[in-house]
Structure 1
Amino acid sequence: MSKSHRVRPFWKGEREGDSMSRPARRHARKPRYNGRSAMTAIASTLRSDMESTRLHDSLPHPSTLPLAGGGGTTDELTAHYRAILSGTDPGWAAGCRDLNLVGRGGQGVVFFARREGSDGFALPVALKVFSPEQFRTAEAYTEDMARIAAVAARVAAVQHENLVAVHHFSEHRGVRVMRMEWVDGIDLRLVLTPATLERTRARLGPEHLRFVEDVVLTDGPAQPRIKPGVATHILRDCLAALAALHREGITHGDLKPANVMLKRTGSAKVVDVGSAADLRSAEGRRAWSPLYAAPEVLDGAPVTPQSDLASLGYVLIEMMAGRSPFEGFVGVSGLIESKRTLEHRLADVLPHEVVGSDLLVSLCRRLVAADPEKRFPDAEAADLGRRGAAAFHRQLVKGDLASEYGNDLRVWLDALAGDGSSHG
């Protein structure tokens, strides 16, 4: 039996669980689905809907533009890469079956596959194929792949639950392939699209939908916005992943919604370590998304732990605001200026329910401060410090405003991927 609704003194409309009782949420009948395939089918559908409505992750960057004269790398290496994409060279994925192209980015493409073992064993994996097309020579491609492989080996040793696991780095006819764990879930970029909210409303029962819109996801001015409690839950998981990387002297370098996965278990995981870099070395091509890069990085400075924090701060603000905090900028110079002034524009960007929390606004401000020295000193401080994300969560608990956010996400994602039989 659901409890009666209570008036929220802190965030109007965000309820602890009034519209769906905790026992109902914890033990709601799980829908029938084929785990990976259900979530992947949803992601494919949402991704196709998203192409015409999404906020663009990036602006063209000199390092990712086609080279003059057709350029790229040698014809032979490029031909091998294109044969992989066309399916005419299946040898690159020996030992794998059920290949499905699921992502495409500045560095290459990502496939889902099942890696086969003996006696019918098969493990879902993600295969990232690095494109050689944007390199001037085969030697430049090989050198950059060696750098990426060295960093990937160190990432593989981290073994953190909020960071994608790297399994292998290999070569097929000169083309490099990184094998990683397959994360069963949906990326944050897809969550922040109208199609996801439309699907939620179509598949959830009235009571569960009311709860989701109160606590998890609701309408925003340009795209769905994630409620503050859930947004900080996602933030804390990402900060834990960053802290693990930074302790090993590695920066992620390309934090953005598309590189944050919401797992079916209700936790968040940082993925795509292809842009990760060794803090001790400034060598190699830099690949990042301008919309989420810190202003000093756009100005040519190297990626640092503080620039990773700024990128994550932009993601947090976008989650809670339901729009990009950089709408209306013109060109790279306008984007840089917009980022330098963001800490002073938060009251205009964030919804009133967020602006009403001094602690949450302070958290955002210290993540995205224009001066890197005014940001949190590290990811652990951003999470566990006196004015960090954990302090905000404690404030929710003390005010009886908190919910079981991980479980709330799990139940919502189950319903989103299920057969539509969500009970309120």
Structure 2
Amino acid sequence: MAAPSAPTHIGNYSIVEQIGTGASSDVYLALEEKKFASVAIKQLRKTCQSEPYRKLMANEVALVGKLEHKNIVRLLSAHLDDQSGPYVVMEYVKGVPLDRHQHGDTLLPVNTVISVVEQVAFALQYIAGQGVVHRDVKPENIILMPNGQAKLTDFGCAIPTGTAGEMVAGSLAYMSPEQLEGQPLDERADIYALGAVLYRLLCGRHTFEADSEFEARIAILNFPISPIVKHRQGLPPALVAVIDRALKKNKDERYADWSEFIRDLGEAAHVIRMSDYDVDLYRGFSMSTQSVLSRFMSTDRDFSRSGFSRSSMPDSFGA
């Protein structure tokens, strides 16, 4: 059943339910009439149908219509002059957006996080080769399917490489300094964003601590990121190094391209796979509990999480 606030029909599609909300649009699960095929429809909200928003959607169609990659949600058709409001029809992907796994008590296993980030990196490498910068890489725009495949979606902020777009757009927590300042962008802006996604999915925190949007902007432009070890212990140095380099404020100090990022992330993944150390030992625990675990581990390297789980922890450890 459609939600009370959702339309019952858009064009030749019957609306099943609303499944997402963006800065300027709503996303619905819909059925194409006669074919009964499931699709996702993204339509500009009535309050966001002015010319700048219409231009952004038209730009999305122009850039994304040519993209075909197994880790990118496909755009099937566009209807920019519909009376109810401009909308695009996309492949419906049954899965979970990764913002469901960006908090301390819902974090995914490290190997799953790396697999997802690797897949998205290949998708972003592909679009870079097509002359496109996504400009809004964040957990909400990555869908994890039950079979482990990841899909990158929402190209509403995408721009051609080497341009800045007509307005600064994207999500502040994942913006590179040059994107925040409205400079022309290349793939290094998306590398920064994916580094911030990797950071968030591993520790459940943003790369900076701020109480307001103003403080966040100051932090992005001027202050180093909060060291990930401050929030998550036990990660291999090789993986921490990948994150640190991807998040360099000076784009010339970041990875020069996706090939370098994918190479180093793959090497870090290999270190993790070959290690007999439980890299998920600290996942989901508070820092005070991680400190207790760390002290225990320093005296007993055979210790494993199976022998020290939340169910057996004394209250004094305060997870």
Alpha-carbon offset, residue 263 of structure 1: 0.7
Q: Aligned AA for 1:108? A: S
Residue number in structure 2 paired with 1:179: 89
Greater mean deviation of Cα atoms: 283-292 or 233-242:
283-292
**Which aligned pairs between 1:312-331 and structure 2 lie closer than 5 A?**
312-331=194-213
Which TM-score applies when normalising by structure 2? 0.77
How many equivalent pairs are there?
Answer: 277
Counterpart pick for 2:11 among 78, 93, 97: 93
Aligned 1:300-339 pairs, distance under 5 A:
300-337=182-219
From 99, 105, 115, the equivalent of 1:189 is 99
| Unaligned stretches of 5+ residues in structure 1 | 1-36, 38-43, 45-83, 194-219, 404-424
Question: Aligned-residue CA RMSD in angstroms?
Answer: 2.8
5+ unaligned residues in a row in structure 2: which ranges?
Answer: 280-319
* Shift in Å, 1:284: 3.3
Secondary structure of the residue aligned to 1:111 is strand
The 1-side partners of 2:221 and 2:175 are apart by 9
Q: 1:272-351 alignment to 2 at 5 Å?
A: 272-337=154-219, 340-343=222-225, 345-349=227-231, 351=232
For 1:113, give the aligned amino acid: A
Q: Which residue pairs with 2:233 in the alignment?
A: 352
How does the TM-score come out when normalised to structure 1?
0.59
Are the counterparts in 1 of residues 208 and 219 from structure 2 also a CA contact under 8 Å? no
Partner of 2:291: none
Residue 80 (structure 1) aligns with: none
User: 2:60 & 2:266 partners in 1: Cα distance?
Assistant: 33
Deviation for aligned residue 1:270? 0.9
Corresponding residue SS for 1:231? helix
Q: CA deviation at 1:334?
A: 4.0
Q: Distance in 1 between matches of 2:46 and 2:185?
A: 23
In structure 2, what is the equivalent of residue 367 of structure 1?
Answer: 246
CA distance in 2, matches of 1:239, 1:178: 25
Within-5 A mapping of 1:53-132: 87=7, 90=9, 92-94=10-12, 96-117=13-34, 121-131=35-45
Q: Which has the higher helix share?
A: 1
Assess if the C-alpha contact under 8 Å between 2:163 and 2:185 holds in 1. no
Take 2:78 and 2:161, find their aligned partners in 1: how far apart are those partners? 21
Q: Retained in 2: the 8 A contact 1:231–1:319?
A: yes
Is the Cα–Cα contact under 8 Å of residues 125 and 258 in structure 2 kept in the other structure? yes
* Cα distance in 1, alignment partners of residues 54 and 265 from structure 2: 41
Asked if the contact 1:225–1:319 (Cα under 8 Å) also holds between the matched residues in 2, the reply is yes
Note if 1:376 corresponds to 2:247.
Answer: no
- Equivalent in the alignment of 2:266: 390
Assess if the C-alpha contact under 8 Å between 1:165 and 1:181 holds in 2: yes
Evaluate the alpha carbon distance shift between residue 278 and residue 131 of structure 1 in structure 2; reply closer, same or farther with a 3 A threshold: farther
Query: 1:265 maps to what in 2?
Result: 147
Q: Distance in 1 between matches of 2:143 and 2:150?
A: 6
**Mean alpha-carbon deviation: is it higher for 141-150 or for 388-397?**
141-150
Distance 1:97 1:334, change over 3 A: closer
1:160 counterpart = 2:72? no
Distance in 1 (alpha carbons) for counterparts of 2:113 and 2:126: 20
**Which among 59, 79, 90 is matched to residue 147 of structure 1?**
59
The question of whether the paired residues in 2 share the 8 Å contact of 1:250 and 1:279 is answered with yes
- Please state if 1:248 is matched with 2:136: no
In 1, Cα distance between the equivalents of 2:126 and 2:24? 24
TM superposition shift of 1:85: 5.8
SS, match of residue 226 in structure 1: coil
**2:162–2:184 contact (8 Å) kept in structure 1:** no
Within the candidate set 230, 246, 259, 2:112 is matched to 230
